[in-house]
Amino acid sequence: MKPQEKIGGGQLFALLFASRAIGLFTFTVPQETGFSAGDRVLFTVPFCLLCLLFAVPGLLVGSRHENGIAGAARAASPLLAKGVGVFYAAAFLCAAALGALRFELFVGTVLFPESSTAVFTALLLAAAAAASLRGVQALGRTAAVLLALLAGSVLFLLIATFDRFNGLNLTPPLENGAGPVLKNAFRSAGRTTELAALTLAPAFTRGRVKKAAVGWLTAFSAAAAVIFCWIGGVTGRYGEQQMFPLYTLTEVARFGVFERMDAVLTGVWILVAFLQAAFFLWLAALALKQSFDRKMPPAGAFAGATAVLGLFFLFSALADRTDGEATVYTSAALFLLSSVVIPLTVLLAGKLTASSPKPDASPGRG
């Protein structure tokens, strides 16, 4: 079988950052009160620490085997490897569907409030499936370019709103105690499905996965702190009432003759949503490929995209019925299983297999 193509640590950083960025752009202030502007800036610290903590099992299991969790599971038991592969494929498809759902909410509310966005989502997923067929190197290169675009657009947004920033619009952190900060840090960490990618990362990364992961989580948290601080400093309590405060920030941005930059910036965000879907589809295919040792046919990517679309409609219906709680719990359960429980289980299984006496090839001899 053709050896697995690999990307560098920098490209892994770009892929993880760009994929997670959509969560930042579609960030919504929780409905319950008490999570003020100052808290939103401060919460990025426990969020970063929690993510680093939750990344440990994935990185540990990855460091044990060059093929990541699939290799480690196979070393313990081929059956476990197949189960792990199927679970991770399903988890990444679910993550892609939840990401699409989040983005559909943004598109349906802000961009095309009067239109059905199902066509838009279907096309986005089809394009993502086609992109995932190009392989991880193409995705890594795209992510690097996209990250530069993203950083440029956010920087331009900050400059364009600089004269409207007022520190007085912020609030002192921890005014309502540490509860809201910690609660939201856990909640946001529970949505960071990209951590599960770290368990597979050694299989497709040349560079140092640990360094890329720590760099990604630290840089992402710092970027989130700056953006939240800016949203609070410019839009104040009005921003808190808006569904997507960062989009509101783009609406008020003005720099010389440049006005109404929301259209340009949302264009970049659509690319980010596309990249996230493509990355998750590719990861799902990789999980299956490594566990079953079979190359995925091109039609598999489109089958994956179709499955994601189905899950998207399912989650959409569940979210409507449960007032959004179903997606929160699904996301948290997937995160815990894929980033913590299964990597630890595989590690434990590996230890047990290694410590158990190997069956003698010829029992009758002794």
Partner 1 sequence: MKKLLSFFFALSLPLLSGCSFRRPPELSERLIIEAIGVDKTETGFAVTVQSLNDLAVGADEGTPEGGVTKCCTLYGTTVAEALASVSEETGLSPLYSQARLLVLGYETARDALPEALDFFLRGQNTRADIAVAVAARSAAEIAAADFGKDRVGADVLTDMLEAGEENGTAIGVPLYRFMDLLLSETDAAYCPLLAVKEETASDGEGAECIGTVLFDGTIIRTSLTKEETFPLRILTEQLNGATFAVLSDHVACTLRVTRKNTKIRVLKTPENARFCLQIDVKCDITDLSFRGDPEFLPLDPDLVRAVSDAASRLLTERISGTLGRCFYENGCDVCRFRQRLRLRYPTLYRALAAQGRLSPADLPCEIECRVSIRRTGKEVLREGDRQ
Residues at the interface with partner 1 (CB under 8 A):
107, 109-110, 112-117, 119-120, 123, 126-127, 130, 167-172, 175, 235-239, 241-243, 248, 251-252, 254, 298
Closest CA to 254 of 242, 266, 244, 262: 262
Which residue's CB is nearer to partner 1, number 5 or number 175?
Answer: 175
- For residue 290, give both structure tokens: 């490594």
Per-residue exposure over 6-22, b if at least 16 CB sit within 10 Å of its own CB, e if not: bbbbbbbbbbbbbbbbb
- Residue closer to partner 1 by CB (options 114, 323) is 114
Minimum CB distance to partner 1, residue 150 (Å): 21
Q: Smallest gap, in angstroms, from Cβ of residue 298 to partner 1?
A: 7
What are the residue ranges of helices labelled H in the chain? 9-25, 37-42, 44-64, 68-76, 78-106, 118-133, 136-160, 179-189, 194-200, 209-241, 245-252, 262-292, 298-322, 325-335, 342-355
Asked if 19 contacts 139 with a C-beta cutoff of 8 angstroms, the reply is no
123 versus 341: smaller Cβ distance to partner 1: 123
d(CA 81, CA 58): 15
Q: Is the Cβ of residue 229 or residue 287 nearer to partner 1 in the bound state?
A: 229
Residue 125 or 347: the one with the smaller Cβ distance to partner 1 is: 125
The answer to whether 190 and 335 have CB atoms below 8 angstroms apart is yes
Q: Compute the least distance from the CB of residue 264 to partner 1, in Å.
A: 15
Crossing angle of helices 245-252 and 262-292, in 10° steps, is: 140
Min dist CB 262 to partner 1, Å, is: 9
Rank residues 206 and 260 by Cβ distance to partner 1 and give the closer one. Answer: 260
CA distance 293 to 287: 10
Nearer to partner 1, 112 or 329 (CB): 112
In the complex, least distance from residue 109 CB atom to partner 1, rounded to whole angstroms: 6
DSSP assignment string, 45-64? HHHHHHHHHHHHHHHHHHHH
Nearer to partner 1, 82 or 254 (CB): 254
CA distance 113 to 186: 31
Task: Quote the CA–CA distance of 143 and 241 in Å, as a whole number.
Answer: 32
Q: Which of 278, 247, 275 is nearest to 263 (CA)?
A: 247
Kindly state the smallest distance separating residue 40's Cβ from partner 1, in Å.
15
Shortest Å distance, C-beta 170 to partner 1: 7
Please identify, using beta-carbon distances, which residue of 5 and 66 lies nearer to partner 1.
5
Distances in whole angstroms, Cα of residue 129 to Cα of each of 93, 120, 126, 301: 12, 14, 5, 5
Shortest distance, CB of residue 73 to partner 1, whole angstroms? 33
Cβ proximity to partner 1, 198 vs 246, nearer residue: 246
Please report how close the Cβ of residue 352 comes to partner 1 at its closest, in angstroms.
46
Q: How far is the CB of 364 from partner 1 (least distance, A)?
A: 57
C-alpha angle 104-106-219 in degrees, rounded to nearest 5? 105
The β-bridge relationship of strands 254-255 and 258-259 is: antiparallel
